Amino acid sequence: MSTAKLSNLANYDLRQFTVKYGFIVVTVVLFLWFALTEPSFRMESTLFSMLKFTSVVAITGLGVTMTMVVGGLDLSVGSIAGLSVTLSAMTMVIYAQTGAVALIVVLLGGALVGLFNAFLIVVLKIPDLLATLATMFTIMGLKLVPVDGQSVSSGLILRDGSVAPGKFTPGFLLIDRAYIGPVPLPVAIFFGLAFFVWFFLTRTRWGRVMYAIGSNPEAARLAGVRVKRYRALAYIMSGVFASIGGLILSSRIGQGDISAGNSLLLDAVAVSLVGTSVLGMARPNAWGTILGAVLIGIVITGLTIKGFPYYAQDVVKGLVLLTALIFSFTLSRRKTKFVPAV
Amino acid sequence: MVAAVEVRNISMAFGSNQVLSGVDLIIDKGQTTALLGANGAGKSTLIKVLSGVYSSFTGEIIIDGKSATIDSPITARASGIETVHQRIDEGVIPGLTVAENLLFERIVTGDVPNRVSLKTIVEKAVEIAAALDLNWNKSKLRSDVYELGIAEQQLLILARALSRSPKLLILDEPTSALSASESQNLFKVVKNLQDKGIAILYVSHKLSELDQIANNLVVIRDGKIRNEQKTPFSWDQALKEMLGQQIVGQRQEISSLASGKVALELKGVKLLPESEPINLSLRKNEVTGVIGLLGAGKTELAKIIYGAEKILEGEMLFENKKYQPSHPAEAVAKDIYLVPEDRAAESMIPAWSISETATLPFMGNFSARGIIKKAAEFIRGKQLVEDLKVITTSHLAQVDSLSGGNQQKVVVGRWLQSTPKIMILDEPFRGVDIGARRDISKRVRDLAATDVAVLVLASDVDEILDVADRIIVLVEGKIVMDEISSKTSKELIVNKMSEVA
């Protein structure tokens, strides 16, 4: 074998390795670096607070992943999470209902917005990105109407001059504050949903069929797959996941902050895209999304502890996403590449 | 004879798989050299080497007596080798006009000024079109390329290739999407090019076509040239060399109609918006062959029965009950299956394994409470590989990595392994080598013997005669002939096909 061939082989293997394990290596190295240089990073509480901080983005990202699997992309997730914050606050503060009612209202709200997205995409045949973009703006504006554009917190003066009768119930506030053993509840929810999505996508026939739709919708249809129903399902699930993220967010903030969820969209889409590159799969998948979320969590927690300014975070997130895209699109030799439908 | 292109000792391997081993080939000026080989024989690889798609081969390519470096499609083109690939849709750019498509390379290379009116482009396009005797007027040149039929798109791609005056023109199954008369037109064009001194390398599975057009014949098998002939060709010898150990059998005699029970009845169904409604019964124990040119309504017929296309007018009865499928899922539930025309676009999921592809239409049977039964799926995949003699390393191999004939075996076999009542195959032999064609043909005949109604749609007369008990000729959505195959002949069918509706 000539030397040229040998070096080709080495290049190829290095490339293969980078594509497959690059992200995991980066995550572990960063983690070790922060852990070795910053004693406070090593504490168990820091680890869990990092995961807790990541949980909202990760859960919302899992929903986005579902829509990416069927070849779409849900841009309305951030606004759904924001809507969930306002909805839960309205239910408890203005209508003085229990936390359980708020929970149901929020989940239903998420499912309804998902259904609306599905209607735009499947029935009205608007391209995914554009339809969910329109939904995003509509929801962001619409949620402000019943609250007159104000954040909802206890003691709010209503339109008729009276004081809002309710408040965030202690039970609702526990969503973000409770622990199962040493594990914060949001982290447990995050892991539970991650397992669910992984299982659903890789072990059930519905997940299998969704991947078929994402790769070749016409071949799926001609194999007898009800493509429209599955795409609708993906958007409804995405809506529900975003509203679960919104619930945790609402419980964390403890008031109906109208700007909540605004930054969530980019993070959730970013972690899903980062996820497509993990293990060289070049397709959206649950573990990838989680690893993406955890990586970004580690980086941001680490940089914060190291005293980097808050605006450095966006730069870092951008670079992480860019690196992931290079892994997915440039370095991967897979012929089929994931490209969201526009 | 003067050699236009000489290929010396070309070898190439993909990993441990030696696809070409020491190929020597001389392609003469002003001659048409036919390249014949089963799928997986190395034909496509050789073409891709010549057209610059692969650069990791060893050996030498000599053009006009000088050694040429061909390591990219651009260098191939610069050396005077033009290739018209089989996939027509990969050659045209939708959204651009016919004229812009004709001049596309020149627009890209900047030979056409950056700021140029469509008028100027159309004028240049007229010249190019005229060189090929295409009677395309200016309004046609101004229309979107998608408004052209597939045959005209083919001519467009050819015209574009010729506008760069190549020394060698490679035509890869150029007639696979063309009707008989369209093919004849193409042959005239090819003869003209020959007279102009262009060397042509012509790949096709249709022997009658090669008889008409080729001067030389080269047979390739397992990456080696096995047989070289000059016209007149001995097809017996060529086919033996091409198929190796396989026996070249005569076409099987088909017994008279088994007058089976009617499985599906079409009443007053309109296939095309402008066509007359047709009545048609598909019987069990029978292979019904439908033949027609492109646009005759074959695919429409298949997709209407399968619920993949809306029925324009009329009704269908399945086992004497009203049958109105609004989605393929309803057809599949009734055991009415379709193998669509375009394998890659309509049957295969990129990067999926044979097993996964096999079970996709029947996920319900391969899962319990939604959870996939992997073991059952693997068994199904292995059976498919064994039953249909799919040439592959394993049932976990990606379907895209197989040769065309083997891909077809997978997408046909996945339905055969279930329990079809009506099996529709739209162009099942397109881009399939003779060995695979015979295998699939036999399976389809065996299937009909088990009480299944089979419908095969094709545009090749030999293929239909080979497989069908009953032959229906469609012309512009209308049935012009419906006859037991033993009472027909190739001449009669061709005659009917060319009838004007």
Flag whether residue B349 sits within 8 Å of chain A, measured between CB atoms.
yes
Q: How far apart are the C-alpha atoms of A30 and A323, rounded to whole Å? A: 15
What's the CA gap between A144 and A122, in Å, rounded? 28
Contacts of A203 in chain B (CB under 8 A): 371-372
pLDDT band at B247 (very low <50, low <70, confident <90, very high): very low
CA-CA distance, A141 to A134, in Å (whole number)? 11
Q: Would the pLDDT of B258 be above 70?
A: no
pTM above threshold 0.90: no
* Residue owning tokens 């076999």: B413
pLDDT, position A42:
78
B239-262: b (≥16 Cβ within 10 Å) or e: bbbbbeeeeeeeeeebeeeeebeb
* Portion 181-220 of A in contact with B at CB < 8 A: 203-206, 208-209, 211-212, 215-216, 218-220
Q: Is B368 on the interface with A (CB under 8 A)?
A: no
Point out the residue among A220, A222, A334 whose CB comes nearest to the CB of B351: A334
Question: Domain map of chain B by residue range?
Answer: 3-92+148-243, 263-496
**Quick one: pLDDT at residue A80?**
97
On average, the pLDDT of chain A sits at 87
Residue appearing with tokens 């049958």: B323
Could you count the other beta carbons within 10 Å of the beta carbon of residue B324? 10
**Is the CB of residue A9 less than 8 Å away from at least one CB of chain B?**
no
Give CATH for domain A10-331: 1.10.3470
| Predicted confidence (pLDDT) at residue A4 exceeds the cutoff of 60 | no
pLDDT at B256: 52
Nearest to B287 by CA among B268, B306, B260: B260
CB contact under 8 A, B372 and A205: yes
Q: How far apart are CA B155 and CA B134, in angstroms?
A: 8
Contact with chain B for residue A1, Cβ under 8 A:
no
Q: B263-496: which CATH number, 3.40.640.10, 3.20.20.70, 3.30.450.80, 3.40.50.300?
A: 3.40.50.300
The pLDDT tens digits for A8-39 are: 555 567 777 777 787 788 888 888 888 888 88
CA torsion B244-B246-B252-B258 (nearest 10°) is -140
**In this structure, are residues B77 and B160 in contact, taking their beta carbons and an 8 Å threshold?**
no
Q: Is the pLDDT of residue A128 over 60?
A: yes
Task: Give residue for tokens 């090929």.
Answer: B132
Query: What was the pLDDT predicted at B16?
Result: 64
What are the chain A neighbours of B306 within 8 Å (beta carbons)? 222
Candidates B304, B360, B399, B417: best to mutate against A (most CBs of A within 10 A) is: B360
Residues of B in contact with A216 (CB under 8 A): 345, 348-350
- Cα separation values, B186 from A204, B37, B167, Å: 50, 22, 19
ipTM of the complex: 0.83
The answer, for B332 touching chain A at a CB cutoff of 8 Å, is yes
B201 SS3 class: strand
Q: From the CA of A336, how many Å to the nearest CA of chain B?
A: 6
Which range is least confidently modeled, B166-170, B439-443, B491-495? B491-495
Task: Decide if B3-92+148-243 and B263-496 have a common fold.
Answer: yes
Q: In B, which residues are within 8 Å of A215 by CB distance?
A: 349-352
> Residue B257 has what pLDDT?
56
- According to CATH, the topology of domain B3-92+148-243 is Rossmann fold (3.40.50)
**What pLDDT score was predicted for residue B331?**
96
Cα pseudo-dihedral A90, A94, A96, A99, rounded to 10:
20
Interface of A with B in 218-237 (CB under 8 A): 218-226
pLDDT, tens digit (0-9, with 9 covering 90-100), for B384-408: 999 988 988 899 999 988 888 899 9
